[in-house]
Amino acid sequence: MTSTTMSPIPKKIKPAQLLSRLVAVESCDPPGGELEIARFLEKELSGRGIELEVDEFAPGRANLLARWRGSGRRGPLVFSAHLDTLPPGSQGWSVRPFGGTVKGGRLFGRGASDMKSGVAAMTAAFCSVVATGTKLSGDLVLAYSAGESSNCLGAKRFVERAQFADASAILVSEPSSLDLIVAEMGALWLRITALGQTGHVSGRRGINAIDQMSDFMIGLRSVDLPCPPHPLLPEPTMQVGVIRGGHAVNLTPDQCTIELDVRIRPTTDPQAIIDLVARPGVSIEVVDFKPAVETAVDHPFTQACLQARRGLGVETMKIGGVSYYSDATIYATAWRTPFVIIGPGELGMSGQPDEYVEIEKVTAAARIFERVAKLWLGDVPP
């Protein structure tokens, strides 16, 4: 179900205050339930001239799209973030996971770093651009997705509906400690199955599929992944994340399945990886493939983001790549749109107990995002 509204120009929003309220709205995936936080943001953003749409594409799962119209001389600039978080778990928290506790200049809670801090900063920047009446050469768009941790469900929905296929650039607020990320590793997920023959330990023993898979997994250790050099990305990796096999302790297992996560650099052919790990006696199924994506360091959008960052008086920063994937891989693969990741969250905080973000970085991120919008879309230099 999709709803669209238009309504007065919102006042400026303080990003840290908004973040505290966002953390209090549970949107863990699993099970999902981003509709509540999408509706919350819809209410916050309600303002005349802003086009708002909440797209509930599955029960309780919703994307939010907000658009502030520019002159149309340039394609839209999209501020991209996801609304879902990982579950908090039951161990290790010294604060309430959804309490938004503030202490020592940090705000704590599930999603504080990944990535409700990005949502808060982008929302504040968007509202500041609107409230000041900045003339833009293209639309400024907020695209907040559901289910990023569930295989980028919301991003795929945006692509399916071609809601910003004409974007000139996409800024993603995934955690980066305010550094610039311009490259993501690709993710190849494989399901590998070994078949045996059932039997009973006290009689006919059968053929043990778990033993066959064990031999296969030992062989994986000697696989040398192809590694074209890349100045920004880490080494490729391969990890077994799931294993299933057997029906009862006294029965010989007739099937064993593993799921393999392989992270690869650009230009690596996924079929070459499949051929490399293939062995007699196992079948291989591709569960999903998200290609590695990157934007050139000298691309005008990268340079605009650098200029916006330096405009805050911060000259020391990193330009790098990451082993994680984000919604950027869905958009860049579908539309070849240039992207940059800048986020206030810390790279190592995702999914951790006592997840936190530095409040100062959330405020700084909002200023950077506003400046990027004015540099990239402004009819008059900021």
pLDDT one-digit tens code per residue, 258-297: 999 999 999 899 999 999 999 999 999 999 999 999 999 9
- Mean pLDDT computed over every residue of the chain: 93
Question: DSSP characters for 273-308?
Answer: HHHHH--TTEEEEEEEEE--EE--TTSHHHHHHHHH
> What is the distance between the alpha carbons of residues 134 and 193, in angstroms, rounded to a whole number?
57
Lowest mean pLDDT among 243-247, 294-298, 338-342, 346-350: 346-350
Task: Inform me whether the pLDDT recorded for 227 exceeds 90.
Answer: no
Residue 25 DSSP symbol: S
For residue 225, which of 186, 264, 256 has the smallest C-alpha distance? 264
Lowest mean pLDDT among 3-7, 122-126, 260-264: 3-7
Q: DSSP alpha helices (H): ranges in 187-286?
A: 209-220, 270-277
Compute the average pLDDT of residues 308-333.
87
> What is the distance between the alpha carbons of residues 95 and 37, in angstroms, rounded to a whole number?
22
> What is the distance between the alpha carbons of residues 19 and 33, in angstroms, rounded to a whole number?
18
Compute the average pLDDT of residues 45-70.
94
Compute the average pLDDT of residues 311-326.
82
Q: DSSP alpha helices (H): ranges in the chain?
A: 15-23, 35-45, 116-131, 153-160, 209-220, 270-277, 300-310, 327-335, 359-377
Quote the Cα angle for 145-125-118, to 5°.
Answer: 45
Q: Confidence band (pLDDT; 50, 70, 90) for 316?
A: low
> What is the distance between the alpha carbons of residues 234 and 263, in angstroms, rounded to a whole number?
10
Task: Inform me whether the pLDDT recorded for 9 exceeds 60.
Answer: no
> What is the distance between the alpha carbons of residues 319 and 307, in angstroms, rounded to a whole number?
13
List the CATH code of the domain at 2-184+293-377.
3.40.630.10
Q: Confidence band (pLDDT; 50, 70, 90) for 48?
A: low
Fold of the CATH domain 186-290: Alpha-Beta Plaits (3.30.70)
The pLDDT, as a whole number, for residue 336 is 97
Q: Confidence band (pLDDT; 50, 70, 90) for 49?
A: confident
> What is the distance between the alpha carbons of residues 219 and 193, in angstroms, rounded to a whole number?
15
Intervals of CATH 3.40.630.10 along the chain: 2-184+293-377
Instruction: Kindly state the greatest CA–CA separation across the chain.
Output: 83
H or E element at residue 63 = strand 61-68
The pLDDT, as a whole number, for residue 382 is 42
Task: Inform me whether the pLDDT recorded for 8 exceeds 60.
Answer: no
Residue-level length of the chain: 382
Give Cβ neighbours of residue 19 (< 8 Å, ≥ 6 apart): 100, 107, 112, 116, 117, 119, 120, 357, 362
> What is the distance between the alpha carbons of residues 119 and 173, in angstroms, rounded to a whole number?
7
Residue 207 DSSP symbol: B
> What is the distance between the alpha carbons of residues 375 and 304, in angstroms, rounded to a whole number?
6
Dihedral sign of CA atoms 87, 90, 91, 94 in order:
positive
Percent of the chain with pLDDT strictly greater than 70? 95
Q: What are phi and psi of 19, to 5 degrees?
A: -60, -45
Task: Inform me whether the pLDDT recorded for 236 exceeds 90.
Answer: yes
**b or e along 153-184 (b: 16 or more beta carbons within 10 Å of the residue's beta carbon)?**
bbbbbbbeeebbeebbbbbbbbbbbbbbbbbb
The pLDDT, as a whole number, for residue 231 is 95
Give Cβ neighbours of residue 169 (< 8 Å, ≥ 6 apart): 75, 77, 78, 301, 304, 337, 338, 339, 340, 376
The pLDDT, as a whole number, for residue 381 is 45
Task: Inform me whether the pLDDT recorded for 380 exceeds 50.
Answer: no
Compute the average pLDDT of residues 8-26.
86
Structure token digits, residue 9: 């120009």
Structure token digits, residue 220: 């994986």
Asked if 308 and 375 touch (Cβ cutoff 8 Å), the reply is yes
The pLDDT, as a whole number, for residue 4 is 55
CA distance readout (Å), 141 to 117, 302, 304, 325 = 18, 18, 17, 21
Lowest mean pLDDT among 56-65, 191-200, 313-322: 313-322
Quote the Cα angle for 324-330-331, to 5°.
Answer: 120
Compute the average pLDDT of residues 255-259.
98
